[in-house]
Structure 1
Amino acid sequence: MSQSPRKAWMESVITSSTELKLSMIRQHAEALIQEANQREMSYEEFLAHLLQKECDARLEASRYNRIRLAKFTHKKYLEDLSVSDLPEDAQKKLKQLKSLDFIREGRNVILSGNPGTGKTHMGLGLGIKACLEGYKVWFTTVPLLINQIKECRAQQTLRAFQNRFEKYDLVIADEMGYISFDKEGSELLFTHLSLRAGRKSTIITTNLSFERWGEIFQDPVMTAAMIDRLTHQSYIVNMNGNSYRMKETKEWLSKQQLG
C-alpha cells in the first residue's frame, strides 16, 4: 500500500531539514505543524514561526559553544554578585563595565586588590556576559598562560597560538602576582599581551598594587613597560576591601551550625 500524501510530505521535510542541517525543524516539525493547525496560522505566519524557532535554537547553541570554548574554571554570573559587599570603587564602576563598552572600545580592565574581594567573580561574570552577547572569550590564569606559551614555542606551534590569542574579543588573565616569573616568562607574557594592546580587551586580576609588580617581573624596565601598555586608557578598579569570599564562608558555616 502506498503511503499517504501527508506522510510522504513529512518524510520529505525530515530529509530536507537533515540535509540542510536544520536540526530544530527536523526534531520538532510534527509538533510545530500541529500547533500551526490549532492556531489556524497563515502560511506566512507559519513560515516565520518555523524559521524563528530555528534561529533561536542556533543562537542558544552558539552561546553554549562560546561559553564552552572560553574554558571558564567556574560558572560565575554578574547577577550572583552581592554588589553591596563589593569594594566601593567596584560598586561605582560595575554598571559601566556591565555595558561591555570596554570590549567594543578595545580597552583593558585591571581589577587590583587584596584576595577574596570578588576580582575573579567579576572577571568570570563579565566573560560569561560577553559570551552571551556574541563575543569570543578565553579565560586563563597568568601562570597557565605563560606555561602554554612556552609549550607552544617548544612544539613550534607558537605562531598559531599567537594568531588565536590576538583575535579573542576578550581575554581574562586571572591571578597576576600569585607567582613570580623567570625572565623568559616575563618577556613572553609582555610580548603576547602587547599583541592585543589598543585593539582587543584584556581583563587582568591581580592582588598586587602596580608599585609591587616589580616583584613579579624582576626587571624594572619591563615592569614599567608592562604597566604602561596594560593601563593605557584602561578601566582600573580598586578592589581593596573586606573579603567577599570570607563573608560567604562565614554565612555558609552559620547555616551549617543552624542545621
Structure 2
Amino acid sequence: MTHNQTIAQLQELRLQGMAQALQRQLEQPASTELGFEQRLALLVQHEIDSRHDRRSARLLKQASLKYAQAHIEDFDARASRGLERARWMALALSDWATSGATIILSGATGCGKTWLACALGQYACRQGHSTRYLRLPRLGEELGLVRATGTYTRWLGKLAKTQVLILDDWGLVALDAPCREALMEIIDDRAGNRATLITSQLPVDHWHAWIDEPAVADAMLDRLLPQAQRIVLKGESLRAARTKKTPSSANQS
C-alpha cells in the first residue's frame, strides 16, 4: 500500500489530523529517524489536537459572542477598575463553567462588563464548553421568532443544556410579560446546574423593581443571588479612553 493510499484511507475515516500529520512526516526526512511507536504517538496527538481545535472553533461560532476575540489573558488590569488581575485570573481559571456558577458583572456603561463576559465565554469555548451570548434588550425579538416558528419549547431546552449562558445588558430595558416569563424559565432551568454570566448597569438592589412582578422577582432572584459571585467594575468609560488610542487598541467595553 502506498503512502497516498494510507492518507486517503485516513481521510475517509475522518481522521484528518492524522492524515495531515502523516503527510508532514513524509515531507520531513528527519521524522524517519523516530521509532514506529514515537511516530504513531505523534499522529494520534495531532488528531486529538485537531479535533479539539475544530470543536473549539465550532463552539465559538455557535456562541455568537459580541467580542469573539476577547481573551482572558488580555485583561486590562488598571487599578481604577476595581478588579485586580490576580482575582480576575483566579476566577477565569476556576471551575465556574462546570459548577453551575452565577457571575454578575456590574458597573457603569463602558467599563468593560461585556468584554469580560465574552472573554470568559471565549475561554469556556476553548475548554470545550457550549456557550451562548444573549442580549436581553433583544429577547423580545428572539421570542417573537421562536414563537412564530413553533420552536419556543425547543429553544428553551437548548438554552437549558448550554453550559455557559451570557445574559448581557440585564436591566437596560423594561421587561414585558412574555420576556419576564421566558427569563424566569431560563433562570429556573439553569439555577445550580449551568453557569450563567450576567452584565448589568443596574445595581442589584434595583433588580426586584425592574422585574416588576413581586412573586416572579422573588423566585428569580432567589435562584440567582445567594451563591452569585459579584464583580463591581469602576472607573471611567473605556470606550472614551479608546478614542484616544490607535484602531488596534484592545476593545474591553
Do they superpose with TM above 0.5? yes
Q: In the alignment, is residue 9 of structure 1 matched against residue 2 of structure 2?
A: yes
The Cα of 1:233 is off from its aligned counterpart by 0.5
CA distance in 2, matches of 1:92, 1:146: 38
Equivalent pairs: percent with the same residue? 26
Q: 1:221 to 1:170 in 2, by over 3 A?
A: same
For residue 56 of structure 2, what is the aligned residue in structure 1? 63
Trace 1:1-259 onto structure 2 (pairs within 5 A).
Answer: 8-35=1-28, 38-74=31-67, 75-85=69-79, 87-89=81-83, 93-214=87-208, 216-252=210-246
Say which SS state the counterpart of residue 243 (structure 2) adopts. Answer: helix
**TM-score normalised by length of structure 1:** 0.85
Q: How many residues align?
A: 247
Say which SS state the counterpart of residue 156 (structure 1) adopts. Answer: coil
Segments of structure 1 that go 5 or more residues without pairing to the other structure are: 1-7
Say which SS state the counterpart of residue 105 (structure 2) adopts. Answer: strand
The Cα of 1:37 is off from its aligned counterpart by 5.3
The code of the aligned residue for 1:105 comes to S
The Cα of 1:66 is off from its aligned counterpart by 1.2
The code of the aligned residue for 2:193 comes to R
CA distance in 2, matches of 1:208, 1:11: 62
CA distance in 1, matches of 2:232, 2:31: 58
**TM-score normalised by length of structure 2:** 0.87
Higher helix share: 1
The Cα of 1:113 is off from its aligned counterpart by 1.3
CA distance in 2, matches of 1:242, 1:190: 33
The Cα of 1:130 is off from its aligned counterpart by 0.9
CA distance in 1, matches of 2:47, 2:133: 30
Say which SS state the counterpart of residue 100 (structure 2) adopts. Answer: coil
1:27-61 deviation per Cα after TM superposition (whole angstroms, max 9, x unaligned):
45333134365551111111111121222211111
Q: Would you say the 8 A contact 1:106–1:200 is kept in 2?
A: yes
Say which SS state the counterpart of residue 162 (structure 2) adopts. Answer: coil
Q: 1:250 to 1:227 in 2, by over 3 A?
A: farther
Q: 1:92 to 1:114 in 2, by over 3 A?
A: farther
1:163-215 deviation per Cα after TM superposition (whole angstroms, max 9, x unaligned):
21111110011111221121221121112121101111100000001232245
1:145-168 deviation per Cα after TM superposition (whole angstroms, max 9, x unaligned):
343234323322122112211111
Q: Would you say the 8 A contact 1:90–1:239 is kept in 2?
A: no
Segments of structure 2 that go 5 or more residues without pairing to the other structure are: none
CA distance in 2, matches of 1:91, 1:218: 36
- Cα RMSD of the aligned pairs, angstroms, is 2.3
List structure 1 runs of 4+ shifted beyond 4 angstroms: 36-39, 89-92
Q: Would you say the 8 A contact 2:7–2:23 is kept in 1?
A: no
